[in-house]
Amino acid sequence: MHKIVRLTASGAAGLALALGSLVAATSPAAAAQDTPGCVTKKEYRKIHKGMTKKRVHRIFDTRGWLADGAGGGFSRAYLSCNHQHVAYIEYATWPPPVKPARTTGWKRWRLYSCRC
């Protein structure tokens, strides 16, 4: 009988831990750290040479827009959350062997000037 109680108690403790982790991951504090559609300076600093475009988009929570393109690659622009800066990321697609294709080359954090 004691073994059943111990197993049940440890099972309940594991379930409580799992549920606690789930609640912490979906808490307002965690949601406030996520910035879909814009880039924070902290997110920008996480980008390093050689990262794939897919990984950059996952960190930034946005696809940005095509800023420039030529034979050896292209760059994308991502608006900052305060709408005062733009993060420019260059992606290399040439020369072979760029593996994987579309990896980051350089990055720039510039003031945003709308030419509207």
Judge whether 82 and 53 are in contact, CB under 8 Å. Answer: no
Where are any strands of DSSP class E within 17-102?
Answer: 65-70, 73-79, 85-92
Instruction: Give domain limits for the chain.
Output: 1-33, 35-116
pTM of the model: 0.64
* Chosen CATH of 35-116 out of 3.40.50.970, 3.30.1450.10, 3.40.50.300, 3.40.50.2000: 3.30.1450.10
pLDDT in tens, the chain (116 residues): 555 544 454 554 444 444 444 344 444 444 446 788 999 999 999 999 889 999 999 999 999 999 998 878 899 999 999 989 999 999 987 766 656 667 888 888 988 776 65
